[in-house]
Amino acid sequence: MPTTLFFALLTLTEPLKFGTNVSLTTPDNAVNQVQCILHNMDMPFELQSLPWLRARREVKLDRLDGYFTTHLTSEMSQHGKLSSPIYLENWYWFTHPDSVNKDLKKLRYGVVHGSYQANWFKTQNITSLLEVNSLEEIVNVLHHHRVDKVLLDLDDFNNTADRLGIDAFSYPRSFYRYVPLGVFAANKLINSHPSFLEKFDETIPQCAPAPFYLSQGEQVQILNTLLEPIKALISQPIITDAAAQSNHIKLTNKALRIADEHWIKEVKTHQHDLAKNMLLTDASLYLKQWQRQFKGIITEIIVTDKQGKNVAISKITSDYWQGDENKFSLVYQQSLAYRFDSVEYDASTHHFQVQLSLPIKNAKGDHIGVIILGVDVEKALHSFNNNALN
């Protein structure tokens, strides 16, 4: 999305001035999130239009206080700081059908001038470009085969093609990456209002967009590679026996809460005694060894019993009891063969993860627990899209 945002804070009594080239009437975009955040911060603001490249230049000239961006470039790091992510874009490569088998070295790429993708192309040394001024133009030039390939947000491409009367699904697509958008606050703003970014970040959860879920096609891609190995894993006696043995020890709701609170307290104080002891069990060691074959695609594994208590883990978990969470309750004793949770962004690792849950059954077919796997979405989807640029 070639979104651009800027804002200039004049005084406490004058509004923040924002600029964006995204339609202000479009639902569920990054502008909506910023509007919500600033409303909740009780900060007046106005919206205007301004190209992204010009916003950067105006910040350098100390005439603006910020803009939207996907990442903090080394060039701009001395001019301000980036907020936590406020919105998630889903970047895909879209290829003209007649260019699918074309020599990669001869591909013609199209991009919207001044967009995040244009800046990203520069970091990837992609120089064979046709630059246009809008989303409508870039979709049209692909449609008329003036370029072979474009990189756009999935919703942007689908919605724009629909407005133009173009069949979006006639263009082969492949996942490239998720891109978190944040607000860049210039030194001018930070110096005059030191608490702005802190308060902005604190308010983000109040305005979080609806949970982001994998598309059906993305789920199928992941399942095609992972489902059968996971089924083989949960049929192993070392896993089913661990769950069955734990089921012989039934805790009361009060005891579950106490055990969970103890585990969480240890994790927060970096003691980890309970978690470390569980990591040394045969079942946990087996999980850790099994996980290695996926080279980072699977980030963690939790095996629970039928109460949702941890039975085996491949890494230290934040809590002990999973029974009060959807990843357990919507799978255990349900008809679902599997369930994907929403995609989450880990700010500390800059990775996007989704949790995949499957029921664990004994030889009779009875539910005896649940297995929950963390999947690094970008690594997983990249491994299924060999034609995507890396």
Q: What is the domain partition of the chain in residue ranges? A: 16-88+181-207, 90-179, 216-383
In CATH terms, the fold of domain 16-88+181-207 is D-Maltodextrin-Binding Protein; domain 2 (3.40.190)
Task: Name which of 6-15, 118-127, 161-170, 229-238 the model is least confident about.
Answer: 6-15
Distance of alpha carbon 329 from alpha carbon 323, whole angstroms:
6
In the predicted model, is pLDDT for residue 129 greater than 70?
yes
Superfamily of domain 216-383: PAS domain (3.30.450.20)
Distance of alpha carbon 197 from alpha carbon 193, whole angstroms:
9
Given 3.40.190.10, 2.40.50.100, 3.40.50.720, 3.40.50.150, which CATH number is that of 90-179? 3.40.190.10
- E-strand stretches of the chain: 16-19, 45-48, 66-69, 80-82, 87-95, 109-112, 129-132, 149-153, 173-186, 298-305, 310-313, 339-340, 344-346, 351-361, 367-376
The larger pLDDT score, comparing residue 346 to residue 291, is at 291
In the predicted model, is pLDDT for residue 24 greater than 80?
no
pTM of the model as a whole: 0.72
Q: What is the pLDDT of residues 157-216, one digit of tens each?
A: 998 999 999 999 999 999 888 887 788 888 988 888 899 899 998 888 888 776 778 888
> Can you tell me the mean pLDDT for 122-143?
89
Report the chain's mean pLDDT, rounded to a whole number.
86
Highest mean pLDDT among 14-23, 42-51, 169-178, 339-348 belongs to 169-178
The larger pLDDT score, comparing residue 65 to residue 142, is at 142
Task: Please determine whether the domains at 16-88+181-207 and 216-383 fall in the same fold group of CATH.
Answer: no
Given pLDDT bands bounded at 50, 70 and 90, which one contains residue 271?
confident
